[in-house]
Structure 1
Amino acid sequence: MELLRGAALLLLLCAAACAQDECSCAKNKRVSHCKLTNNVCTCNAIGSNMPVNCETLTSKCLLMKAEMTNTKSGRREKPKDAFQDTDGLYDPECENTGIFKAKQCNGTTCWCVNTAGVRRTDKYDTDLKCNQLVRTTWIIIEVKHTERKTPLNADALAKLIKDTISSRYMLDGRYITGVVYENPSITIDLKQNSSDKSSRDVDIADVAYYLEKDVKGDSVFLNNPLNMSIDNEPLVLQNPLVYYIDEVPPEFSMKSLTAGVIAVIVIIVLAIVAGIIALVILSLPTYPQMKEMNEMHRGLNA
């Protein structure tokens, strides 16, 4: 009997010890096998099994890979080199540090990406060379708020947005360079050069990804949806659009344009050509004018 009591007590102690080692990753729900080591919760990212420090944001590359593993599916004038992510979700290749590999492939098709994992070249075969991972230094995020009972104060809104990004996404406030409000649109500028970013700073690409997921209602955080209010009224954001500006302009060619865009360009060119032809025709003398000129010419020669 004493032996059984001792065994039961040992089991209870082991269970308590195991429970103490378990933890939850508050900043990333796409993880498994979480353990508490030196009071820091460390987990394995789903899809890659790479270690994730739950004290900070997880890299966008690891988050996208985890999302693919789970789903298996895949207003102002912008700077001239700003482009959107038109390819959507794909299964990325990540470096050991969690950042994107410069070259991404899907079967026999490959392309180059920036530090945000967004395609910045046309798609080619597997012989494509991507010499470096080009850094995204400026991200423009556009959102709209739902209809409200009271109008928003631009200064109060800007402060709320900056405070939320700094506290929720751990981004140093110096990288939040602007918040512009044009009812109901909100434009947020994040700028971060490689020379400014320290190893402790979160990347603006990761912040943009977390924010976009929050607005879309698919938060990466564990049981912590985005919750903002201003003037005692909830501020609900929707319709996120994200634009990326790299330190080196993208390398898209005409063949990357959609058929609709090409058709519009062709129509414009044809219209210009037709206009030129019409001007030439209108500048030519009419038949009566030509007859009168010929008669005058014969009179002078008489």
Structure 2
Amino acid sequence: MEPLFGVVLGLILAVASPAHNSCTCATNKWAVCAQDSPGNCTCRLAGSDHPVDCSTLTSKCFLMKAEMMPLKEKRLWRPPHGVSDSDGIYNPDCEDSGAFKARQCNQSSSCWCVNTAGVRRTERGGRSLNCSELVRTRWIYIELTHKRSSSAFHAPDVAKALTQLFESRYKLHPKYIAAIKYDPPLIQIRLDQNKKPRWDVDIADVAYYFEKDFNNDSVFHSNSKLNVSVNGDALAIEKLWIYYVDEKPPEFCMRQLAAGISAVVTVVVLTAGIGIAVLLLLRWLRTRTYKKFECKEMREIKAPSLELP
């Protein structure tokens, strides 16, 4: 009976194992998932009770919050006396919808206003800082360069490959890809999203996922590396820059701008003053040399007139 019981137990574990492994969040490796009933897998954000929709991207705010969770809460084991470098990193405040709250603060009571991409758009202030609204990031410009390839890429093929990438991997509707320009090895991508319907992903989330993929820290559960191919040839991305443009201009204080302008003016005035001083010095030295030379010539001319015939 014991061998038979072992076989039955092994079959049960073999059948249960795939179901357990399938309870994961494909679009968020930090999500905590549990099989609460047969065929029903529920996933929540690490360290919170926010449910995660694994059929689409997780909001950038929730991802940043998950990244801030202590190692012991995200991993089953960590080395003794292990520490993590969290200097300069803050834990964002998120709405229940996953959007950033307009005002963000760190542990030192320093606060600032952000846009919908979570990017700071004002100077830092105290707890009394008022952020009246969450300004939408409407445009995102992505610039990247690729390594040299044995075969040349054509602009339409590059645009098609990147459009398919953003649509299939990041669930972005092609209508939000306003333009893709290619001037080897530079590629420029402009994302335009004035208003976002609830069922569409936000371009800020797409840009964050793309940036994490580029840095080999993919948010996807499979943690697969970013592979882009153009007609079967690999497009190896070498450098990446992302720029955020809001519906309203940022509200940085003019004092910093004035200080910068004053510094530039000071440098220009000092440079001009030094230049004038050098010119005057050269002119004085030239005049003095000329007078000495003139006196010498006069002595040489007058000297023969003193000789007797």
Deviations 1:132-169 (A, max 9, x none): 11110000111111221112111100111111101111
Cα drift, residue 100 of structure 1: 0.7
Cα drift, residue 38 of structure 1: 9.4
In the alignment, is the contact (CA less than 8 A) between 2:33 and 2:41 conserved in 1?
A: no
Matched, 1:51 2:51: yes
Partner of 2:264: 267
Secondary structure of the 2:238 match is strand
Partner of 1:94: 94
TM-score (structure 1 length as normaliser): 0.74
Partner of 1:158: 159
Q: Aligned residue pairs: how many?
A: 259
Unaligned runs of 5+ in 2: 72-83, 277-309
Cα drift, residue 229 of structure 1: 1.2
Letter of the 1:203 counterpart: D
Cα drift, residue 37 of structure 1: 7.3
Q: What is the identity percentage for the equivalent residue pairs of Structure 1 and Structure 2?
A: 45
Cα distance, 1:10–1:270 mapped onto 2, change above 3 Å: closer
Cα drift, residue 35 of structure 1: 3.8
Secondary structure of the 1:166 match is helix
In 1, distance between residues paired with 2:12 and 2:38? 20
In the alignment, is the contact (CA less than 8 A) between 1:213 and 1:219 conserved in 2?
A: yes
Cα distance, 1:35–1:56 mapped onto 2, change above 3 Å: farther
In the alignment, is the contact (CA less than 8 A) between 2:23 and 2:35 conserved in 1?
A: yes
Partner of 1:31: 31
Higher CA-based Rg: 2
In the alignment, is the contact (CA less than 8 A) between 1:93 and 1:104 conserved in 2?
A: yes
In the alignment, is the contact (CA less than 8 A) between 1:25 and 1:41 conserved in 2?
A: no
In 2, distance between residues paired with 1:160 and 1:88? 37
Cα drift, residue 270 of structure 1: 4.4
Partner of 2:209: 210
Cα drift, residue 202 of structure 1: 0.4
Q: How big is the alpha-carbon RMSD for the aligned residues of Structure 1 and Structure 2? A: 3.5
In the alignment, is the contact (CA less than 8 A) between 1:48 and 1:65 conserved in 2?
A: no
Secondary structure of the 1:222 match is coil
Cα distance, 1:89–1:201 mapped onto 2, change above 3 Å: farther
Deviations 1:200-240 (A, max 9, x none): 11000000000111111111112232222124321111322
Cα distance, 1:122–1:9 mapped onto 2, change above 3 Å: same
In the alignment, is the contact (CA less than 8 A) between 1:40 and 1:54 conserved in 2?
A: no
Secondary structure of the 2:52 match is strand
Secondary structure of the 2:44 match is strand
Cα drift, residue 42 of structure 1: 3.5
In 2, distance between residues paired with 1:59 and 1:274? 51
Cα drift, residue 69 of structure 1: 1.8
In 2, distance between residues paired with 1:265 and 1:41? 61
Q: Which piece of structure 1 moves more, 25-34 or 54-63?
A: 25-34
TM-score (structure 2 length as normaliser): 0.72
Deviations 1:113-133 (A, max 9, x none): 111011010000000111111
Cα distance, 1:38–1:115 mapped onto 2, change above 3 Å: farther
Deviations 1:83-136 (A, max 9, x none): xxxx98532111111111111001210001111011010000000111111110
Cα distance, 1:198–1:50 mapped onto 2, change above 3 Å: same
Secondary structure of the 1:226 match is coil
Letter of the 1:266 counterpart: A
Unaligned runs of 5+ in 1: 75-86, 280-302
Q: Which piece of structure 1 moves more, 143-152 or 240-249?
A: 143-152
Letter of the 1:136 counterpart: T
